[in-house]
Amino acid sequence: MNWYGIAAIFRFEMARFFRSIIQSIVSPVLSTSLYFVVFGAAIGSRIPEIEGVSYGAFIVPGLIMLTVLQQSIQNAGFGIYFPRFIGTIFEVLSAPLSSFEIVLGYVGAAAVKSLMIGLIILATSFFFVDITIQHPFWMITFLMMTAISFALLGFILGVWAKNFEQLNLVPLLIVTPLVFLGGSFYSVSMLPPFWQSVSMFNPVLYLVSGFRWSFFGMADVPITASLIAIMGFMVACLAIVWWIFRTGYRLKV
């Protein structure tokens, strides 16, 4: 293993995070606080408790997931897209680094960044609502697996994108709707039966459900289904990344 090489990429990616530390931390904290004010306090006061959990607390796992997903995709996508865009990628491709090591550097940094932001949001939410985490181990596990697998997705996106528009469009047009329709702010049991069945095809539902279970012990789908879904998603992303490096798709000519 070329550890110095992995560390160089990792450090470089983290430096960008800390260079814009204000933006990196203030913006998620601010938007989360807004969600709490609007959904938790204003609207939530008119929504009854869901299975014994106040609405304000109920949305916390969904909010964290929403941000972690977006941040993972965005960080990893930008991380690999930008060097492609300005041409500095040649250096990484000509270095004695295996594809696994390159991915470890970029995806690892992106996942760590979004994990940090997820934890900051969790900390913020303690100011607004009372939360006890019933299964802290699973909470962290879900969070890490989500951060890693969506950073992998972001990496794929960053390799695939031919311009900044494509890079931003996919998260906007595909990922955000999936998150909103994945039960982040409601329990699918609140939906009419038809939409409940449709929701079962939304992969994000399994993540949010499993994550929420780790907080409150309640879930829309069985916890094993959530675990299988996230593992399956991660394996699929890894397979695509492996294929990218095998063929040199959009990285090498």
Partner 1 sequence: MPAIVEVEELDKTYEGDFKALSSVSLEIEEGEILALLGPNGAGKTTLISTICGISIPTSGRISVSGHDVVTDWRAARRLIGLVPQEINLEPFEFVGNTVRFSRGLFGKAPDEAFIDQILTDLSLIDKKGSRIAQLSGGMKRRVLIAKALAHEPRVLFLDEPTAGVDVELRRDMWALVERLRSEGVTIILTTHYIEEAEAIADRIGIIRSGEILLVEEKNKLIKRLGRKTLTVELKEPLTQLPDALSDYDLQLSEGGNALIYAYDAGAERTGITRLLSSLQSAGLVLADLQTNESSLEDIFVDLVQEDAQ
Q: Which residues of the chain form contacts with partner 1 (CB under 8 A)?
A: 2-5, 7-9, 11-12, 15, 19, 83, 86-88, 90-98, 248, 252-253
Nearer to partner 1, 195 or 242 (CB): 242
Contact between 146 and 72 under an 8 Å Cβ cutoff? The reply is yes
Q: How far is the CB of 16 from partner 1 (least distance, A)?
A: 9
Nearer to partner 1, 94 or 224 (CB): 94
DSSP string for residues in 15-74? HHHHHTHHHHHHHHHHHHHHHIIIIIIIIGGGSPPBTTB-HHHHHHHHHHHHHHHHHHHH
Q: How far is the CB of 12 from partner 1 (least distance, A)?
A: 6
- Going 91 to 236 to 135 to 68, the CA torsion angle's sign is positive
Task: Give the start-end residues of each E strand in 46-203.
Answer: none
Nearer to partner 1, 12 or 180 (CB): 12
**Residue 165 has what DSSP assignment?**
H
Q: How far is the CB of 2 from partner 1 (least distance, A)?
A: 4
Nearer to partner 1, 197 or 247 (CB): 247
Nearer to partner 1, 4 or 201 (CB): 4
Residue 192 Rama label (left phi>0; alpha psi -120 to 50; beta):
beta
Q: How far is the CB of 102 from partner 1 (least distance, A)?
A: 10
- Widest Cα–Cα separation across the chain: 59
Q: How far is the CB of 252 from partner 1 (least distance, A)?
A: 5
Nearer to partner 1, 65 or 89 (CB): 89
Beta bridge pairs of residue 53: 50
Distance CA 242, CA 115 (A): 24
Q: How far is the CB of 103 from partner 1 (least distance, A)?
A: 15
Contact between 124 and 70 under an 8 Å Cβ cutoff? The reply is no
Q: How far is the CB of 5 from partner 1 (least distance, A)?
A: 5
Distance CA 145, CA 151 (A): 10
Contact between 38 and 84 under an 8 Å Cβ cutoff? The reply is no
Contact between 159 and 84 under an 8 Å Cβ cutoff? The reply is yes
Nearer to partner 1, 5 or 183 (CB): 5
